[in-house]
Amino acid sequence: MFTGELVNSKGKTATAPLTVRVTDASPARAVLSADNWDGDGRYTVAADLWWGTNATSSRFLENGIEVSSGSLTAATPNAQRAMLQVSGKPKGTNVDTVEFRNAAGVTVSAPLSVAVTH
């Protein structure tokens, strides 16, 4: 809530209170993609935030286990990107998610399944 007071030589007048409601302080939801076109277990997972409030850090999870984390530079409304380099994965499917964080909260991406076929 904000209030103010206007002052001049004739006196002062209080302003009416103004309430500001913040609805989008947590980071926007990042979108995951992977470049594992050949299925060989060596690929990059990219987390892209194209619009909305930026994050100050990221945390990648693979099959629910943290595999990487790092800092991000918040510069809303600019886009953000975090990357995870993956190598040596055996055959199977891995489910990746990313958490984008800032002082207001945490937002989790939709899961991305990445199949390693050979």
Question: Do the Cβ atoms of 116 and 39 come closer than 8 Å?
Answer: yes
Give me the pLDDT at residue 58, please: 98
**Tokens standing for 11?**
């006196």
Q: Is residue 57 part of a domain?
A: yes
**9-13-19 Cα angle (round to 5):** 145
The pLDDT > 90 percentage for the chain reads 92
Q: Is residue 110 part of a domain?
A: yes
Q: Is residue 112 part of a domain?
A: yes
N-term to C-term CA, the chain: 59
Residues 21-57: pLDDT tens digits? 877 789 999 999 999 999 999 999 999 999 999 999 9
Give me the pLDDT at residue 33, please: 98
Q: Is residue 67 part of a domain?
A: yes
Q: Is residue 1 part of a domain?
A: no
In whole angstroms, give the CA distance from residue 50 to residue 53: 10
Domain tally, the chain = 1
Give me the pLDDT at residue 21, please: 81
Give me the pLDDT at residue 53, please: 95
Its domain, for residue 57, covers: 24-116
Q: Is residue 8 part of a domain?
A: no
What's the CATH code of the domain at 34? 2.60.40.10
Q: Is residue 18 part of a domain?
A: no
Residues 72-116: pLDDT tens digits? 999 999 999 999 999 999 999 999 999 999 999 999 999 999 999
pLDDT exceeds cutoff 80 at 7: yes
Q: Is residue 5 part of a domain?
A: no
